Amino acid sequence: MAIFTTISMYIIPLLLFVILVSAIIKQVPAYETFVEGAKDGFQMAISIIPYLVAMLVAISVFRASGALDFLLEGIRPVLALIGVPTEIVPLAVMRPLSGTGALGVMSDLLAVHGPDSFIGRLASTMQGSTDTTFYVLTVYFGAVGIKKIGDSLKVGLLADICGLAAAIFFVTLVFGSM
């Protein structure tokens, strides 16, 4: 274990040193290149703001309108048949939309049910096995001007569904059901 601590302590300074030495060897102006990259990154951040605001408004409307509660009531019987707690559905719905929103839902689940409960373990595993698909498509694809996202959306949502199914399967397998 001590070797990993030592390696992790020196890896970033070593990486920076290798980058600087490489820049010197290739005669690349490292500082100027860094500043230019920072400018581009700042411009990218500015261009992302409208997409980010639109996504956050859409999430707020989805929750405030009662659509999430309506969805929960509609799928409650199906989830009961397969042994999935309905408390986990808001996280499953929120995770593809917003990482921060999903983290808030997960925090609520952990506060209510505890981190060592079936729901807590399932929420934690779901958080790690899925991605913020709509956020990625909206913000990053929008920032670089990609308009046709159909196939990316399908694959991203399929990956989220697979991640959710795997989380439910493995948490149930390892820790038992509710």
- Domain span at 15: 1-47
* Residue 77 falls inside a structural domain: yes
Q: If you write DSSP's letter for every residue of 118-177 in order, what string do you get? A: HHHHHHHHHHHH---HHHIIIIIIHHTT----HHHHHHHHHHHHHHHHHHHHHHHHHH--
Are 21 and 89 in the same domain? no
* Residue 151 falls inside a structural domain: yes
Are 109 and 156 in the same domain? yes
Are 99 and 168 in the same domain? yes
pTM beyond 0.85: the answer is no
* Residue 118 falls inside a structural domain: yes
Are 91 and 171 in the same domain? yes
The one-digit pLDDT tens for each residue of the chain (178 residues) are 688 888 888 999 999 899 999 999 999 998 899 899 889 888 877 877 887 787 778 777 877 898 878 888 888 888 888 888 988 988 988 898 888 888 888 998 999 999 999 999 999 999 999 988 888 887 788 777 887 888 888 999 999 999 999 999 999 999 886 5
User: How many folded domains does the chain comprise?
Assistant: 2
